[in-house]
Homo-oligomer: A and B are copies of this chain.
């Protein structure tokens, strides 16, 4: 490991002021692995900051299919889509992949605090704008170059969010099954498997002993989907 991950959590992206505010007005709780922090349709009066653990944000379809949208870890803010909204229901599911320690922040309290401090507001709006930009670029990536584009985009985003630079490439420091990747791409496990094997044969990626993905030629992935010069803070998982 030559260099630690360059991923910035939500809390790292926003200022220390906001961070300490969030921590000062919050309580904590612990949730077990393989349980939901919240589910679609539930009333949303709180939002959360992950102190420790791993949470998957997803959306379910009627047929039981699942689309993964984010994978969140320490420092990330979860549940943000309900802020300042009358419609107080979650649209998404938050599922704990590991045991988590969570800060709980009351939505109306945060709203109150934000409105009384314009510097915090500025930080928060900046963060929201960034989420908007990320989502815009995701729409393009998932839709414009078929499933291959969706996969390449997902790999690039994971690399930017959770990658560790190594001498022979960039390691996605996270255990990802074919099935999980498929859920980010809205593709089937089998298609993802075939495409990953193609990338292996071409030498673009490599699977490590701990079955993590090592990206040896990220430039190939980028040029294939035409995100050659897109800003690195946009091409991320959350």
Contacts and interface: CB of A to CB of B under 8 A. Distances in A.
Contacts of A142: 139, 142-143
Interface string A136-156: 111110111100001000000
As for how many copies of this chain the complex holds, the number is 2
Contacts of A69: 136, 139
Nearest to A137: B91
Interface string A105-141: 0000001001110100110111011111101111110
B136 A85 contact: no
B133 A135 contact: no
B136 A91 contact: yes
B84 A140 contact: no
A25 B45 CA distance: 35
Contact of A129 (B84, B140, B186): B84
29 contacts: A59-B140, A62-B226, A63-B226, A67-B139, A67-B143, A69-B139, A80-B129, A81-B133, A81-B136, A83-B129, A84-B129, A85-B129, A87-B133, A91-B133, A91-B137, A92-B136, A114-B125, A115-B118, A116-B118, A118-B118, A118-B121, A125-B128, A128-B129, A132-B132, A135-B135, A135-B136, A138-B139, A142-B143, A143-B150
Contacts of A138: 139
A59 to B, nearest CB: 5
A67 B140 contact: yes
A120 to B, nearest CB: 10
